[in-house]
Amino acid sequence: MIKAVRGTRDLLPPETALWNFVEAAARDIFRAYNFQEIRTPIFEETQLFARSVGEETDIVSKEMYTWEDGTEPADYALYEEWLIRRYPGIGTLERMGPDFSKRKVFGPTLRVHPKGKTSPTVVRFSHRATFQDVHNLTEARERGTGHPSGKPQLLLVTLSATLSESVRAFAKKEGVEIEELTLKDFAPPQSLTLRPENTAGVVRAYIEHKLWERGLNKLFYIGPQFRRERPQKGRYRQFYQIGAEVIGPPSAGSESPARDAELLEMLATFLERLGITDWDLQLNSVGCPNDRAAYNEALRKALEPVVAKMCVDCQRRAVTNPLRVFDCKVPEDQPIIETLPRISQYLDEPCRKHFAQVKDILTFVGVEFQENDRLVRGLDYYTRTAFEFTHGALGAQNAILGGGRYDGLSEALGGPQAPGIGFAIGEDRLVMSLKETADAVQHKPDVYIAPLGDGMNREAARLARELRRRDLIVELGDESFRLKKSFETADKLGAKFTLIVGENEVKSGNFALKNLGTGEQVSVPRSELAQKIQSSR
């Protein structure tokens, strides 16, 4: 039996009603705060996440679903075309099997049945030439055709300028010619990644479509994200986020602390509207690049004497990106991490002021929060305000949502200055914390129509059509069912009424309508059916 892949799952009814309820509530809130929907692709260039979320983060370094795209056999045509252009009258070309497709960065290999003496016999295209390429070529020569002149010639075409001297020397020794091309001569294989989060995609779209022309953008999204994490309750490899981003040029007010406060107030309102009241808002400021430099330096210094006692990941982080030490989950490292300097001591004056204003507005509008200067978040793009909402009932994975400011992200991706702030709610976790309300959001049929006897299916279908047009939820039985079975089915479905459609009813125009809750059965004229059912909603 084929099962859903580990870390993924099917969302089934009746639980899907809860998902729809949450999404509908989110859309209502977004409308009230004037947010509009954005839908970005589910996969993007790997570089996008490496440059935004950060190479050294757990997400990018361990958890992404990444593959090389564009090395399908169809791409052979592209390479053959180039070869024929380069060696007119080269002879017949033979595609050398699927072996190339197993290797991520290699292009196709072609065997040549040459005409001219100058033609190569085997050609291998490689994104970046390696020893393995040269080796594979010589192996192909041993397996493959000899040149009519008896002199084997092989050609390695590299698609990038980086070719090490040692590979070049090895090729020479093996009798392999090398031809160097630039990437633009070909469509090289592209590294793609299933999005682990959606902020990077939104900022990419902001830059690509010059969304600054619209002033301040208030965008929301609902959709799946992918991280190869160890699955457990509340943690999946395909999970869903409901998120929003406020981004625009500084002239549109995108940098203002009022945006941060508005977003946080919106979240508090949203959770309360869903009936979630026991949440905690953890709030911090992680400063700006200036503060970060000084803070990183302080962290490095503080880590120096103790880092040898920490886990290997921390030892690496201490050198490459000390802030990421705070992502460490190893219990033995926690007492050391506890002693490290705090970012709050390193904020410059503008960052301090910004943070103070956010807190002031929140207090004024009555949104409770807890300052937590340990909260650095697991993504590199954050500046200034960073936050998480936690919910006690969720267990170990208690962060129901997280977010923050990312004032330098657009520039880091080659765009204009575009300060922004956003959040993403873990929809799986949100739904989990609402399990008690599951029953209340189920839509049960208003009426179950029971056709009774031959030829009644068509009558029932017509009646169902009339009632559904009046916005009623209608379930249809079948004329082959006995009345007892119809009542049982209606009961199981939780229908409020059963409507009997038999020959007598059709002839008289009066239908037997039974209230399954009270047991009361009345005869109702066809024209009054919808109203009668609606009135008991």
Of the candidate spans 256-264, 333-341, 418-426, 485-493, the one that interacts with ligand HAM by CB under 6 A turns out to be: 418-426
- Give the residue carrying structure tokens 């009270």: 518
CB of 381 to ligand HAM, least distance (A): 8
- Per CB under 6 A, does 144 bind ligand HAM? no
Asked if residue 187 lies in contact with residue 75, where contact means CB atoms within 8 angstroms, the answer is yes
Of the candidate spans 237-245, 248-256, 301-309, 444-452, the one that interacts with ligand HAM by CB under 6 A turns out to be: 237-245
The beta-strand segments (E) located in 227-376 are 238-247, 279-285, 370-371
d(CA 261, CA 361): 6
Strands 66-69 and 190-194: antiparallel
**Largest interatomic CA distance in the chain:** 100
| Interface pick for ligand HAM out of 138, 241, 385, 498 (rule CB under 6 A) | 241
Residue 288 or 401 with smaller CB distance to ligand HAM: 401
Residue 71 or 385 with smaller CB distance to ligand HAM: 385
Residue 148 or 408 with smaller CB distance to ligand HAM: 408
| Interface pick for ligand HAM out of 114, 201, 403, 502 (rule CB under 6 A) | 403
Q: How many CA atoms lie within 13 A of 499 on its CB side?
A: 32
Query: Which residues between 162 and 201 bind ligand HAM (CB under 6 A)?
Result: 197-199
Residue 59 or 159 with smaller CB distance to ligand HAM: 59
d(CA 213, CA 236): 38
CB of 379 to ligand HAM, least distance (A): 6
- Per CB under 6 A, does 236 bind ligand HAM? yes
Residue type present at position 153:
Q
The DSSP 8-state label assigned to residue 5 in this structure reads: P
The span from the first CA to the last CA of the chain, in angstroms, equals 44
Of the candidate spans 265-273, 340-348, 419-427, 494-502, the one that interacts with ligand HAM by CB under 6 A turns out to be: 419-427
CB of 342 to ligand HAM, least distance (A): 20
**Which residue of the chain is nearest ligand HAM when measured via CB?**
426
d(CA 287, CA 297): 14
The DSSP 8-state label assigned to residue 306 in this structure reads: T
Of the candidate spans 69-77, 230-238, 311-319, 515-523, the one that interacts with ligand HAM by CB under 6 A turns out to be: 230-238
Q: By rule CB under 6 A, what string of x and - marks binding of each residue 381-400 to ligand HAM?
A: ------------------xx
- Per CB under 6 A, does 153 bind ligand HAM? no
Residue 208 or 297 with smaller CB distance to ligand HAM: 208
Residue 75 or 197 with smaller CB distance to ligand HAM: 197
Q: By rule CB under 6 A, what string of x and - marks binding of each residue 195-224 to ligand HAM?
A: --xxx-------------------------
DSSP for 398-442, please give it: -EEEEEEE-TTHHHHTT-----EEEEEEEHHHHHHTTGGGTGGG-
| Interface pick for ligand HAM out of 44, 291, 313, 428 (rule CB under 6 A) | 428
Residue 197 or 333 with smaller CB distance to ligand HAM: 197
- Per CB under 6 A, does 239 bind ligand HAM? yes
Tokens of 457: 């299916």
Asked if residue 499 lies in contact with residue 447, where contact means CB atoms within 8 angstroms, the answer is yes
In angstroms, what CA-CA distances link 192 with 46, 63, 188, 243?
A: 5, 14, 12, 22
- Per CB under 6 A, does 402 bind ligand HAM? yes
In angstroms, what CA-CA distances link 203 with 65, 211, 329?
A: 20, 9, 30
The DSSP 8-state label assigned to residue 344 in this structure reads: G
Residue 58 or 459 with smaller CB distance to ligand HAM: 58
Residue 53 or 318 with smaller CB distance to ligand HAM: 53
| Interface pick for ligand HAM out of 426, 451, 477, 502 (rule CB under 6 A) | 426
DSSP for 194-235, please give it: E-S-SHHHHHHHHHHTTGGGGSSEEEEEEEEEE--PPPBTTB
Q: Applying CB under 6 A, which residues contact ligand HAM?
A: 197-199, 227, 229, 234-236, 239, 241, 243, 245, 378-379, 399-404, 406, 422-424, 426, 428-429
